[in-house]
Amino acid sequence: MGTTVFVTRDFAHMSEVAAGLVVKKTIGILKEKDEAVLGLATGNSPTGLYKHFARAANDGKFDAGRIRSFNLDEYVGLPGDNIQQRVLHKESYAYFMIQELFSRLNKKFIETRVPYGSLIDQKILIKALKENKNDWTFQGTDAGKSIVIKAKPASAYLAWIRKEILDGYTRKIKAAGGIDLQIIGVGGRGHVAFHEAGIPFKGSSVMLVKLDDNTIANAVADGHFSRKADSPQYAVSMGAELVYQAKTVVLLANGERKTQSVTRSLLGDITPEIPISYGRQYARQGGELIYVLDRVAAAGLPANPQELKALGIVLKNMA
């Protein structure tokens, strides 16, 4: 279906435009089927969208009780003595979703799911990886890497992670019929969720990821954690190959930190070095890819109208 890029004035305008698109798509999905399956992102980018989306649901524009949702990712290694404390930690993505969307809905979704990262004890994980080096391999060319656990590992803990945490989440998505509409943000280096720069596209379903030092540093710089030692070192995340199996993908980006990765994802090569560039292949294969950007994040695009046109990218300047 191709790629459409909406350029908006600022964060507030981006949020309004993106919410309008998502609400319209959700209404359309619910006209065609009993349930809509949404893929949801965390981070600052979708927060404004979620406010508008909840307001539309509460105003009766669509029935939130006919929606299931699956989040992209969750940390492994959040502070806490037990699973409950980790799930409800103020920096957990489960807690984020409660704050930013779920608590705003008068009528709750049928079901909400976040990857099961909080079930993993980071200390036990590190010990299992250290003691069972033949059970797993790294994939990736940069500091952030996917930890690929072999089909029949000797470690019962690693076997459990592969079967229940990683493959289990994939099975739940498939059982729901796949994701109809996926909302994503973008990291400063072009990563989607915790599919870090350099992790191969092939086989990137639900992954256990050793986080890039840059990702950890950004989490501290953005005020999520007071110091590097407190920041989780691992995460469970959908990979690009799974993210872009949704029927529609809506990408939000604002600010200067996103400009280069947004530009390269649309005008550069399709490469794991910029994981969101996989969207170009997705669009070529019939997926509907929508970018909603503020003027700053879109700054590298208006100067290349002919190149965008040649690539089948429609630019709609609403700024």
Q: What is the pLDDT of residues 61-106, one digit of tens each?
A: 999 999 999 999 999 999 888 999 999 999 999 999 999 999 999 9
pLDDT band at 245, cuts 50/70/90? Answer: very high
Range of the domain at 69: 2-317
Provide the domain count of the chain. 1
The backbone torsions φ and ψ at residue 265, rounded to the nearest 5 degrees and listed phi first, read -65, -30
In 10 A of CB 260, how many CB atoms?
17
- The pLDDT tens digits for 4-61 are 999 999 999 999 999 999 999 999 999 999 999 999 999 999 999 999 999 999 999 9
Alpha carbon 317 to chain centroid, angstroms: 25
User: What proportion of the chain, given as a percentage, has pLDDT over 90?
Assistant: 87
Q: What mean pLDDT comes out for the span 292-309?
A: 92
pLDDT at position 62 = 98
What pLDDT sits at residue 187? 87
**Confidence tier at 196 by pLDDT (50, 70, 90):** very high
CB distance 100 to 50 below 8 Å: yes
Interatomic CA distance for residues 210 and 244, integer angstroms: 22
Output the domain CATH number for residue 132.
3.40.50.1360
Higher per-residue confidence, 269 vs 225: 269
* pLDDT at res. 232: 92
Average pLDDT over residues 157-173: 98
User: Residue 298's closest CA among 6, 48, 49?
Assistant: 6
Instruction: Give dist(CA 104, CA 265) in Å, integer.
Output: 33
Q: What angle do CA 43, 191, 282 make, to 5 degrees?
A: 110
pLDDT value of residue 264 = 96
pLDDT at 237: 98
pLDDT averaged over every residue in the chain: 95
Instruction: Give the start-end residues of each E strand in the chain.
Output: 2-8, 36-40, 67-71, 73-76, 111-113, 136-139, 145-149, 181-184, 206-210, 234-238, 248-253, 288-294, 313-317
Among 184, 239, 236, which Cα is nearest to 45's? 184
- d(CA 171, CA 133) in angstroms, rounded, equals 27
pLDDT at residue 168, as a whole number: 98
The per-residue pLDDT for range 265-299, each reduced to its tens digit, is 999 999 999 999 999 999 999 999 999 999 999 99
pLDDT band at 143 (very low <50, low <70, confident <90, very high): confident
Residue 214 has pLDDT above 80, yes or no: no
**At residue 115, does pLDDT exceed 80?**
yes
